[in-house]
Structure 1
Amino acid sequence: MMKIEEIKNIIKEKILVERLELEDISAEEIDDNEPLFGDGLGLDSVEALDVISGVEEEFQIKMQGLPEEEVQKTFSSVETLAVYINERLMLNV
């Protein structure tokens, strides 16, 4: 079973920095509670789809069918995304 810190590291390194090719920031510079969209990392809707694909690939969980308000809450920061992934992984045990 993965620890929440491991999940956060995968989100930051594999999904945000590598997959989105964020060249001007390192995984260590991304704050867990920094907004992913808007004033935070400034991701856009195309990058959001890439993040969803990355989460599905890295953690083997499907994210289709989430209501829009749930998506906004889940994807607001690395912290909220990691908590969501952790909950989903625990359901699959």
Structure 2
Amino acid sequence: MPQTEAERELAQLLVESLNLEGVDPQAIDPEAPLFNEGLGLDSIDALELSLAVGKRYGVQLRADGDDNKRIFASLRALAAHVQAHRAN
């Protein structure tokens, strides 16, 4: 399934902010898990990504947020959350 424009932008931010060498942002499956078996991100990556998202979009993601598992489930889920909560 192709990425939306918002997902492409977020995938680029993800690759840049986490220094994912050799990862093509456009090749990230928007439905694939970001953690563990998917992109293999860890809790440190989650913190760095949260900071990058906050800086770029004005969306605050708390490290202890109850919805983090859902928000960070996939690129698509994260993009949907950012779009719904971004400061314009």
Deviation at 1:66, TM superposition (A): 6.1
CA–CA separation in structure 1 for the residues paired with 2:9 and 2:64:
22
Length, aligned pairs only: 86
Query: Which structure features the higher share of helix residues?
Result: 1
Percent of pairs identical after alignment?
Answer: 29
Deviation per residue, 1:15-61 (Å, 9 max, x gap): x2111111121101101011000100000110010010011011012
Task: Quote the RMSD (CA, aligned, Å).
Answer: 1.9
SS in 2 for 1:41: coil
CA–CA separation in structure 2 for the residues paired with 1:65 and 1:40:
20
Look at both structures and tell me which one has the larger radius of gyration over its CA atoms: 1
| Residue type of the alignment partner of 2:6 | I
Long gaps (5+) in structure 2: none
* Residue 79 of structure 1: aligned partner: 76
Give the TM-score, by structure 1 length.
0.81
CA–CA separation in structure 1 for the residues paired with 2:50 and 2:75:
13
| Residue type of the alignment partner of 1:36 | L
Long gaps (5+) in structure 1: none
Question: Which has the bigger relative contact order, CA under 8 A and spacing at least 6?
Answer: 1
